[in-house]
């Protein structure tokens, strides 16, 4: 015959097994996350203690704030912008310093060329974006590109 004690005991055991089954391991500290006492977040296909989900550069926890991902790592906005700000859109090299920033991308001075005539452009040159690449003023006036630009906007 089952006493109330037996029932309670069985319940506790079940809860123990259940916890062991559903407990996720934090990708930061590699320890189990107890959903009852610890706050956690599921991000980048992994579980994290809230305070262990942090920026790969400055190690500040995101605490639910925006984060940005690149190559399996998470970054705060400031560090992410710094990271992509120095990566050339064409050659993917990290050339800190003299980068040309256009259309939300960065180009190293050698890679910043016109899509039409392949001329190396100056960052002050007037350009238009065609297929994510710059087009110089001379090429914009060219009728072949006029067609392409029209096609793109229409």
Reduce the DSSP state of residue 54 to 3 states and report it: strand
Residue 68's DSSP bridge partners are 75
CB contact set of 111 (below 8 Å; sequence gap of 6+): 88, 89, 90, 91
The SS3 call for residue 144 is: helix
Pick the binder of Zn ion from 46, 57, 86, 130 (CB under 5 A): 57
47 binds Zn ion (CB under 5 A): no
Residue 79 has phi, psi (to 5 degrees) of: -75, -30
x-marked contacts with Zn ion along 65-84 as a string, rule CB under 5 A: -----------x--x-----
User: Is 130 a residue that touches Zn ion (CB under 5 A)?
Assistant: no
CA distance 21 to 95: 48
Give me the least distance between CB of 21 and Zn ion, in Å please.
Answer: 19
Is residue 99 part of the contact set for Zn ion (CB under 5 A)?
Answer: no
Residues in the chain: 154
Element (H or E) spanning 140, and its range? helix 137-141
Q: Which of 41, 99, 106, 108 is close enough to bind Zn ion by CB under 5 A?
A: 108
Q: Which of 99, 111, 127, 133 binds Zn ion (CB under 5 A)?
A: 111
CB closer to Zn ion, 41 vs 55: 55
Q: How many residues bind Zn ion (CB under 5 A)?
A: 20
Report how far Cα 93 is from the mean position of its chain's Cα atoms: 18
Q: Is 117 in the site for Zn ion (CB under 5 A)?
A: yes
Residues at the interface with Zn ion (CB under 5 A): 26, 28-29, 49, 52, 55, 57-58, 76, 79, 88, 90-91, 108, 111, 114, 116-117, 136, 139
């Amino acid at each position: 015959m089952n006493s109330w004690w037996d029932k309670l005991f069985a319940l506790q055991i079940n809860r123990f097994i259940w916890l062991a089954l559903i407990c996720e391991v934090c990708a930061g500290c590699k320890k189990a996350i107890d959903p009852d006492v610890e706050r956690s977040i599921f991000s980048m296909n992994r579980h994290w203690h809230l305070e262990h989900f942090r920026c790969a550069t400055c190690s500040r926890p995101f605490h639910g704030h925006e984060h940005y991902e690149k190559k399996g790592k998470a970054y705060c906005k400031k560090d992410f912008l710094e990271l992509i700000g120095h990566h050339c859109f064409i050659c993917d090299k990290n050339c800190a310093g003299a980068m040309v920033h256009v259309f939300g991308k960065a180009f190293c001075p050698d890679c910043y060329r016109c899509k039409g005539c392949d001329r190396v452009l100056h960052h002050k040159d007037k350009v238009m974006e065609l297929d994510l690449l710059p087009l110089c003023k001379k090429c914009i006036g060219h009728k072949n590109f006029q067609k392409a630009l029209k096609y793109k906007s229409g």
